[in-house]
Amino acid sequence: MGVRSIKMPDVGEGVAEAEIVEWAVKVGDLVREDQVVAAVMTDKATVEIPTPVAGSVLALGGAVGEVLAVGSELIRIDAPGLPDSLAAAAPKAAPARAELAPPQRDKPAPMEQAPPAPKAGAEAPQRLAQERHAAAPLRALEPRTGAPRPPGEKPLASPAVRMKAREAGVDLRFVRGSGPAGRITDEDLDAFIARPPEAPPKGPGRAPNTAVETIKVVGMRRRIAQNMAESSRRVAHFSYVEEIDVTALEELRASLNAHATEERPKLTMLPFLMLAIVKAVADFPQVNAHYDDDADVIQRFGAVHLGVATQTPNGLMVPVVRHAETLGLYACAREMRRVSEAARQGVAAREELTGSTITLTSLGALGGVASTPVVNRPEVAIVGVNKMVVKPVWRDGGFVPRKTINLSSSFDHRVVDGYDAATFIQRVRALIETPATLFIED
Amino acid sequence: MNELPCKVLVIGGGPGGYVAAIRAGQLGLDTILVEAERLGGTCLNVGCIPSKALIHAADAAHALSDPHAFNAIGLSIGPPKLDFAKTIAWKDSIVARLNGGVGALLKKAKVRTLLGTATIVDGKTAIVRADTGESRVHAEHLVIATGSEPMELPALPFGGDILSSTGSLALTEVPRALAVVGAGYIGMELGIAFAKLGARVTIVEALSRILPLYDEELTQPVARRLAELGVETLVNARALEFAKSALRVAEADGSERAIAADKVLVAVGRRARTIGFGLESLDLTMSGPFVRVDDRCATSMRNVWAIGDVTGEPMLAHRAMAQGEMVAEIIAGEKRTFDRVAIAAICFTDPEIVSVGLAPDAAKAAHGEIRVGLFPFRANGRAMTKQADEGFVRVTARADSHFVLGIHAVGAGVSELSATFALALEMGARLEDVALTIHAHPTMSEAFHEAALSALGKPLHI
């Protein structure tokens, strides 16, 4: 039998992908040549796709609603008597088959998909190293490449050589010197005049760089991209930035860190913020919630599963500190370190990466002045931490230096009102500015 | 009016202008040189040459009047008698000989010399007013070589007993008491010479030390010699006014002092000569008070060139000569640029100072790690036999490549070492090049060899 893979055709100028809006056939159906098998929608039009071969349908490229890139497999048809189109492209067929696996709409993608990415990453430097090895002997054979001397260094040559160069129209800056201290000898100049280098050495950043690197967005990066786009598309974001005086908190932290031990290691500011969020959400259940916009349901949680946005070699991940409401300061710090380390190593368990109810994001020293974090759907709130700075603050008739940070938080305005969000952040602020209140049992 | 067409018109017959004219003539270019006073300019008439003549006479007179050194070698003599008018006449005869020499060289190169004042009309035309009448000169190329003149202080305008360097070289008798305002190389050279001729010399300097453009290590032997000669030096002091044979001076602490002096020499620098001869009408791009030129001495107007002091520091005759030669060759169609590594600067003080290239501080700032080697003349046999063992030679080089960045010396007669120093820098010498060159024994130049060895960490004679 000949298995034919029908690709998503180029349905219009400038169209890169199309959404399947209707299947006219299902797996097992027999189709005639030119029979319409599907309707796909671009942002311009809906197009019916006919099959160029007759046969039986082996697999469909996706469920209705799925978006397929132009050129990806739309349908696979067993066409008796025709050569097998997949055989020829055997190595390429593997990812295509994975695409054809049952659609995974509501289920998060299984973690098994992630491992290939780090593997590819590990291979890349190796390959680069090999290329560098291969290039090295070439360079040794070709001493005429690269700058003759460090930038800004004047060429050294006797007045007679300088005049000879001038008369020959040679700029000595481009001539290599073989003499001591890189001095350009008469012979160097003669050799240069006899055989000038093919192209003048390029100055840094002068020549137009026409290189284009094409990077396929797959795996983890693709999931991040999809999640971000989905959140941006669905959530009515609004951001709220507030300045918080952390002078007292920093004093407390410094004194705790001064007596750091193995069990109680040095703390960053984040565990304190975790405590503050846990305490604050008790009064603001509307921000510690999930909004299922398909079902029009809001779930408010008693538990605080705190997502901690973490940069990993594969991209942004949000490992989860579960039941933060049960943890003390050091337990928070320990658990946060454990799950974020696991995410970085790629060994995080699935429940350590899902189920957060509210997210905390911090770029530390890179935190900037303000940011607009993207809500981690289906959550409805994310609290962002900006860089700590010492600022002159007007107090009691004079300026005093105070350590401050900004909290930049975003909320899903569809279900969180501005007033509630602002009051929630003010509560966090009050707790942080008087850090003792973090530790008072209600 | 006489119409004179030519290829090259050089305005100014100083070392820059006459060299440009001679080379232009040698290269077959139809050249006219205009000089308002005498050929040779400041250098030959009222600068380098007459001052060196005076210094020579002063050295001789002082050696004889201070028999200490002669006694040491077993020679005794009676008190010398100086006929200063004759000294000046002798100096003038040297100047006249050189004037004549320059004129002959110009003639030999087929340069037409016009003695008169030029007024620039446009970039190709000048009107020359000479005793013999007016001429309009049309040239394809105009070379501005008008030089510089002594700067005045508003409170001490030249005239009467207030002398410029020019005036001080035309005195007919040695002043009894001379106040010198400005401790740059001109003030120091002339001040020391007049002290040796018997004047009571006081030097007034606004900055904190003498010869402020040279590093202190280099000027210390001169400062010591001033004390020996009985020259008083007032630093951080401002000259206020000269009246009733006294120069009023404000000292650093605010107090005022009157210095008895029958003459005052004001040597506070030189100003480029850029006005009074129509240069303004060309509207050339200036660089401060100087005409701006590129590395070919081209001004902002095509085929108008400027060389020498009118283009700025360093105002040195040998720089002007090199520029003049180059401009003539460029006009003749040769490819040249002014790419010299170093221009030696010399103070004919006692002892003499030579500076070529970068001093240690500047070298460090420009190139990072450096090596410095210094060799004192008191460890040099030839210096001892000449009773001149004050001073040293100092070599500064890059620490990584040993490439020599600067060579400095202070000592009797070190001006003659300037040639070998400049050659080393132009050739791109490393310390090893100097160290591996055999320096003849016994000469003071051995100190150069030893300084290089010392910078390499392996001196022999110290």
Q: What is the pLDDT of residues B115-133, one digit of tens each?
A: 999 999 999 999 999 888 8
Q: What is the pLDDT of residues B67-103, one digit of tens each?
A: 788 888 898 888 888 999 999 999 999 999 999 999 9
Contact of A278 with A324, CB cutoff 8 Å = yes
First and final C-alpha spacing in chain B: 72
Compare B59 and B69 and report the one with higher pLDDT.
B59
| Ordered DSSP codes for A317-334 | E--EETTGGG--HHHHHH
Residues whose CB falls within 8 Å of the CB of residue A322, separated by 6 or more in sequence, listed in order: A303, A305, A335, A351, A352, A355
- Structure tokens given for A132: 């560098």
Same fold? B162-268, B345-455? no
What's the pLDDT score for residue A210? 81
Q: pLDDT confidence of A85, banded at 50, 70, 90?
A: low
Q: Which residues of A touch B402 (CB under 8 A)?
A: 181
Cα B385 from chain centroid (whole Å): 29
CATH for the B162-268 domain, from 3.20.10.10, 3.40.50.300, 3.40.50.2000, 3.50.50.60: 3.50.50.60
Amino acid at B337: T
CA distance B341 to chain A (A): 9
**In angstroms, rounded to a whole number, what is the distance separating the alpha carbons of residues B313 and B320?**
10
Q: Which residues of A touch B398 (CB under 8 A)?
A: 181
Cβ–Cβ gap B428/A181 under 8 Å: yes
What's the pLDDT score for residue A123? 44
What's the pLDDT score for residue A60? 87
Q: Is B84 on the interface with A (CB under 8 A)?
A: no
CA distance A161 to chain B (A): 9
Which of B408, B441, B449, B461 is flagged as catalytic? B441
pLDDT at B416 over 80: yes
Mean pLDDT, range B138-147, rounded to an integer: 97
The answer to the question of residue A343 being in a domain is: yes
Cβ–Cβ gap A159/B426 under 8 Å: yes
CA distance A180 to chain B (A): 8
**In angstroms, rounded to a whole number, what is the distance separating the alpha carbons of residues B244 and B249?**
14
Mean pLDDT, range B313-330, rounded to an integer: 97
Q: A22-26, long-range: CB within 8 Å, 24+ apart, which pairs? A: A22/A64, A23/A60, A23/A64, A25/A57, A25/A60, A25/A75, A26/A57, A26/A60
Task: Name the residue facing A181 among B335, B336, B402 (closest C-beta).
Answer: B402
**In angstroms, rounded to a whole number, what is the distance separating the alpha carbons of residues B317 and A398?**
64
A38 closest CA partner among A29, A51, A54: A51
**Which range among A104-108, A196-200, A305-309, B214-218 shows the weakest confidence by mean pLDDT?**
A104-108
Say if residue A426 is exposed, middle or buried (CB neighbours under 10 Å; 0-12, 13-18, 19+): middle
A-B contacts (CB, under 8 Å)? 31
**In angstroms, rounded to a whole number, what is the distance separating the alpha carbons of residues B395 and B336?**
30
Interface test with A, best of B335, B371, B434 (most A CBs within 10 A): B335
Say if residue A347 is exposed, middle or buried (CB neighbours under 10 Å; 0-12, 13-18, 19+): exposed
Say if residue A94 is exposed, middle or buried (CB neighbours under 10 Å; 0-12, 13-18, 19+): exposed
What's the pLDDT score for residue A66? 81
What's the pLDDT score for residue B59? 93
The answer to the question of residue A150 being in a domain is: no
Percentage of chain B modeled with pLDDT above 70: 100
Q: Is B270 on the interface with A (CB under 8 A)?
A: no
Compare B311 and A1 and report the one with higher pLDDT.
B311
Interface test with A, best of B296, B336, B341 (most A CBs within 10 A): B341
Mean pLDDT, range A159-171, rounded to an integer: 88
Beta strands in A83-180 (DSSP E): none
Q: Cα dist. A3→A6, A75, A91 in Å?
A: 10, 11, 15
Beta strand A289-292 with A2-7: parallel, antiparallel or unpaired? unpaired
Q: What is the pLDDT of residues A410-420, one digit of tens each?
A: 999 999 999 99
Cβ–Cβ gap B401/A182 under 8 Å: yes
- Structure tokens given for A152: 């800004």
* Residues of A (232-291) whose Cβ lies below 8 Å from B: none
Q: Is B68 a catalytic residue?
A: no
Domain boundary (A99, A114, A145) is at A99
pLDDT at A99 over 70: no
**In angstroms, rounded to a whole number, what is the distance separating the alpha carbons of residues A93 and A4?**
12
Cβ–Cβ gap A159/B336 under 8 Å: no
Amino acid at B457: G
Q: Is A163 on the interface with B (CB under 8 A)?
A: yes
Q: Where are the domains of chain B?
A: 2-149+271-331, 162-268, 345-455
Q: pLDDT confidence of B435, banded at 50, 70, 90?
A: very high
**Which range among A92-106, B19-33, B189-203 shows the weakest confidence by mean pLDDT?**
A92-106
Residues whose CB falls within 8 Å of the CB of residue A187, separated by 6 or more in sequence, listed in order: A178
What's the pLDDT score for residue A219? 66
Task: Name the residue facing A166 among B335, B401, B426 (closest C-beta).
Answer: B335
Q: What is the pLDDT of residues A44-53, one digit of tens each?
A: 566 788 888 8
pLDDT at A106 over 90: no
pLDDT at A141 over 60: no
CATH number of the domain to which A63 belongs = 2.40.50.100
pLDDT at A233 over 60: yes
Point out which residues pair with A39 in neighbouring strands: A22, A48
Q: Is B132 on the interface with A (CB under 8 A)?
A: no
Cβ–Cβ gap A158/B426 under 8 Å: yes
Task: Name the residue facing A181 among B339, B426, B430 (closest C-beta).
Answer: B430
What's the pLDDT score for residue A202? 55
Q: What is the pLDDT of residues A21-37, one digit of tens each?
A: 788 888 888 888 888 88
Beta strand B270-272 with B148-150: parallel, antiparallel or unpaired? antiparallel
Contact of A411 with A267, CB cutoff 8 Å = no
Q: Which residues of A touch B433 (CB under 8 A)?
A: 180
B404 closest CA partner among B433, B380, B376, B377: B433
The answer to the question of residue A120 being in a domain is: no
What's the pLDDT score for residue A89? 40
- Structure tokens given for A389: 């700075």
Contact of B211 with B183, CB cutoff 8 Å = yes
B58 closest CA partner among B204, B210, B201, B246: B201
Buried b (16+ CB within 10 A) or exposed e, B6-39: bbbbbbbbbbbbbbbbbbbbbbebbbbbbbbebb
Q: What is the pLDDT of residues A183-232, one digit of tens each?
A: 898 889 988 888 876 665 555 556 777 888 888 776 667 778 888 898 88
What's the pLDDT score for residue A392? 92
Within 10 angstroms of residue B454's Cβ, the number of other Cβ atoms is 24
Task: Name the residue facing B336 among A166, A179, A181 (closest C-beta).
Answer: A166
Q: Would you call A94 helix, strand, or coil by DSSP?
A: helix
**In angstroms, rounded to a whole number, what is the distance separating the alpha carbons of residues A416 and A287?**
7
Mean pLDDT, range B336-355, rounded to an integer: 95
Point out which residues pair with A406 in neighbouring strands: A243
What's the pLDDT score for residue A317? 86
Which of A29, A78, A323, A413 is flagged as catalytic? A413
Domain boundary (A99, A127, A147) is at A99
The CATH class given to the B345-455 domain equals alpha beta
Structurally, chain A folds into a number of domains equal to: 2
Q: Is A159 on the interface with B (CB under 8 A)?
A: yes
| Ordered DSSP codes for A365-407 | GG--S---PPP-TTB-EEEEE---EEEEEEETTEEEEEEEEEE
Q: Is B295 on the interface with A (CB under 8 A)?
A: no
B139 closest CA partner among B148, B126, B149: B126
Domain boundary (A99, A129, A147) is at A99
CA distance A196 to chain B (A): 20
Compare B251 and A111 and report the one with higher pLDDT.
B251
CA distance A158 to chain B (A): 4
Q: Which residues of B touch A167 (CB under 8 A)?
A: 334-335
**How many residues would you count in chain B?**
462
What's the pLDDT score for residue B94? 96
CA distance B419 to chain A (A): 14
Question: Chain-wide mean pLDDT for chain A?
Answer: 80
Cβ–Cβ gap A158/B432 under 8 Å: no
Say if residue B368 is exposed, middle or buried (CB neighbours under 10 Å; 0-12, 13-18, 19+): exposed
Q: Which residues of B touch A157 (CB under 8 A)?
A: 428
pLDDT at A263 over 60: yes
Q: Which residues of A touch B428 (CB under 8 A)?
A: 156-158, 179, 181, 183
**In angstroms, rounded to a whole number, what is the distance separating the alpha carbons of residues A329 and A39?**
56
Q: What's the domain range around A389?
A: 237-439
Percentage of chain B modeled with pLDDT above 90: 92
Contact of B324 with B19, CB cutoff 8 Å = yes
Q: pLDDT confidence of A12, banded at 50, 70, 90?
A: low
**In angstroms, rounded to a whole number, what is the distance separating the alpha carbons of residues A248 and A197?**
66
**In angstroms, rounded to a whole number, what is the distance separating the alpha carbons of residues B64 and B73?**
13
CA distance B340 to chain A (A): 8
pLDDT at B58 over 80: yes
Q: What is the pLDDT of residues A53-80, one digit of tens each?
A: 888 888 888 887 788 888 888 888 888 7
Superfamily holding B2-149+271-331: FAD/NAD(P)-binding domain (3.50.50.60)
Mean pLDDT, range B324-344, rounded to an integer: 95
Amino acid at B374: L
pLDDT at A103 over 50: no
SS3 track for chain B: CEEEEEEEEEECCCHHHHHHHHHHHHCCCCEEEEECCCCCHHHHHHCHHHHHHHHHHHHHHHHHHCCHHHHHCCCCCCCCCCCHHHHHHHHHHHHHHHHHHHHHHHHHCCCEEEEEEEEEEECCEEEEEECCEEEEEEEEEEEECCCEEECCECCECCECCEECHHHHCCCCCCCCEEEEECCCHHHHHHHHHHHHCCCEEEEECCCCCCCCCCCHHHHHHHHHHHHHCCCEEECCCEEEEEECCEEEEECCCCCEEEEECCEEEECCCEEECCCCCCHHHHCCCEECCEECCCCCCECCCCCEEECHHHHCCCCCHHHHHHHHHHHHHHHCCCCCCCCCCCCCEEECCCCEEEEEECCHHHHHHHHCCEEEEEEEHHHCHHHHHCCCCCCEEEEEEECCCCEEEEEEEEECCHHHHHHHHHHHHHCCCEHHHHHCCCCCCCCCCHHHHHHHHHHCCCCCCC
**Phi and psi at residue B6, to the nearest 5°:** -160, 175
Within 10 angstroms of residue B330's Cβ, the number of other Cβ atoms is 18
